[in-house]
């Protein structure tokens, strides 16, 4: 199973389009955030990464990932300007 798509010239995850892929696996969310599978599940468990339980499966809303990354980018830019 492929848990993340990569760009052809880099080993970085491609951000999913929420209209095409509304949720991703916890493993893929971890790859997008650059953290391990165990850290991703830990972050889901403590609420740092929002998740939805579908039966026995946990998934992460793509829109939530994009919001979190936008917030991180804004915070980083503000911090760099100071």
Report the chain's C-alpha Rg in angstroms.
Answer: 13
- H helices present in the chain, as ranges: 26-33, 37-46, 62-81
Cβ contact 15:65 at 8 Å: yes
Q: What is the pLDDT of residues 33-50, one digit of tens each?
A: 999 999 999 999 999 999
pTM comes to 0.73
- pLDDT computed for residue 72 by the predictor: 62
- Alpha-carbon torsion, ordered 12, 16, 21, 23, to 10 deg: 80
Residue predicted with more confidence, 12 or 64: 64
- pLDDT computed for residue 1 by the predictor: 36
Tokens of 28: 């893929």
Q: What is the pLDDT of residues 4-30, one digit of tens each?
A: 444 554 666 788 899 999 999 999 999
Average pLDDT over residues 69-82: 61
């Amino acid at each position: 199973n492929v848990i993340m798509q990569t760009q052809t010239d880099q080993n970085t995850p491609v951000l999913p389009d929420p209209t095409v892929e509304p949720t991703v696996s916890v493993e893929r969310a971890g790859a997008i955030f650059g953290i391990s599978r165990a850290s991703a599940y830990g972050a889901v468990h403590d609420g740092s990464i929002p998740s939805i339980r579908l039966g026995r499966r946990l998934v992460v809303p793509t829109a939530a990932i994009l919001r979190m990354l936008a917030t991180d980018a804004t915070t980083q830019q503000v911090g760099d300007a100071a």
